[in-house]
A and B are shown apart, each in its own frame.
Chain A
Amino acid sequence: MTILSDFLVVGGGLMGSAVASSLAMKNKQVIMLDEGDLAFRASRSNFGLIWVQGKGVGMPDYVSWTLQASRRWKKDFNDFLQEETGYDLHLRHKGGLVLLHGDKEVQERKKHLGTIEQEGYDTPTISFLNRKETQALFPDIKLGNRVLGASYCEEDADLNPLYLLKALHQLMIKYGGQYHANQKAININYDEKSKIYTVKTQNDVYQTPKLIITAGNHSVPLARQVGIPLELRAEHGQILALGRTKQVIPYPLSGIKQNAEGSIILGATKNDFGFNDTSVAGLSQKLAERAIASFPDFKSLNLVRTWAGLRVLTPDSYPVYCESESHPNSYVLISHSAVTLAPNHFHQITNWILNNNEKPRELDSFHYNRFQ
């Protein structure tokens, strides 16, 4: 069976559903394809941070791109999603911290943040808190002895990433978009005469004049079929979830946050195990040890779940947004910060796909040709 659509979004993760829902709201006929229930889904193994501090070394445009997104979340994007879908995403937008254990971490953090500031664009304000100031932000739980302080940025925030994914799906469906699961895209053909793309999936055949590839790590073989020599690295990251407890962590920390339901999640490791997303006991041990060093009271909480996902990383880890030069009207969109950047994907990226004149200022920096 051949299924036709004006827009075909290949990939049902946070990136794909942000763009597809936006297209649907603009009355475009859109189908979003997704793999089966057990695909490698970065969007389901995510920490849910809207994170600004420390990002953008060597890429000033990424600093401003991220800042815009964080501010848009606060200004209206969260309210907009909640109004449209009825889902509370549990957004907390009042700042986030990176806890620093020992002198070495303090020095390294200062050095790292210094590199970003030197480049002088619109940069977020990041302050260093000493141990006492840090403890004051967490009045209900004691900091570990090794914690000397933290870096704090008011523009950092967090939400429940699973509810964001659900809300974007719901929004797309609400405005007439179609979600087709179990349709892993395998093969793409472009007919130059008719300017139509034919996408073969595991079960069906789709045709579209506008093709948007947002398939995470699976984008590599697809992008190559539209002339973009995409290279990605699947980086294993593991997360631990602790049982519900009373609210003690009012701010998201890099690597520790407490969900609105009361559960606490710990992350995140970085390893290269290839296409393997199993949970590794040794990594659970490391995460547990670090978390207890941060907050000793965590030792008596139950570990309820571990999971791992594969980050979708470009060679410099910054996003790729580009239209193919050899295959017009096909786009490749890649980012491993699809929570933070969701408002930009929903607004600027979708507008750009619909109308090339609305190209965001930063976009040239995110073209794939920077790697060539």
Chain B
Amino acid sequence: MFKLVRPNTNQSVTIYFNGAPLTAFENETVAAALLRQGKKEFRTTPVKQQKRLPFCMMGTCYDCLLTIDDLQDVQGCATYVRDGMQIKTQHINEKQGSDHE
């Protein structure tokens, strides 16, 4: 879980995580918005179905992949929140195909 250490005076927007509304700040990365809200899982891995959270925060490790507005494999740390954004944890299981929560 993460917390803010400085004020964020940007306008607040509403994003949806697996259908539930969350408040985020304009210009915030999706990864930061979700980590700040204590989310414990961005995706499960395709081979071993392990839960993953962001690892590098700079767009290189691809551990923070999410399904955003129905587009799969979107990097949470390199995407900025937008009002009404629909974010889903991603579960692509190589054995059973994929489904989204």
Contacts and interface: CB of A to CB of B under 8 A. Distances in A.
Interface in B79-95: 92, 94
A246 B98 contact: yes
B14 interface: no
Interface residues of A, number: 11
B71 interface: yes
B98 A245 contact: yes
A262 B46 contact: yes
B19 interface: no
A246 B72 CA distance: 11
B7 interface: no
B73 interface: yes
A123 B72 CA distance: 43
Interface in B44-83: 46-47, 71-73
Contacts of B92: 244-246, 262
B46 A244 contact: yes
Contact of A261 (B46, B72, B73, B99): B46
A245 B98 CA distance: 7
Contact of B94 (A261, A301, A302): A261
Nearest to A260: B94
B97 A262 contact: yes
Interface residues of B, number: 10
B73 A262 contact: no
Interface string A270-304: 00000000000000000000000000000011100
Interface string A247-269: 10000000000001110000000
B73 A247 contact: no
B61 to A, nearest CB: 14
Nearest to A300: B71
A262 B94 contact: yes
Nearest to A304: B73
Contacts of B71: 300
A260 B94 CA distance: 7
A102 interface: no
Nearest to A263: B94
Nearest to B71: A300
B72 A245 contact: yes
Given A262-B92, A300-B71, A302-B73, A247 B97 contact: yes
Interface of B: 46-47, 71-73, 92, 94, 97-99
Interface of A: 243-247, 260-262, 300-302
7 contacts: A243-B72, A243-B73, A244-B94, A245-B72, A260-B94, A261-B47, A301-B72
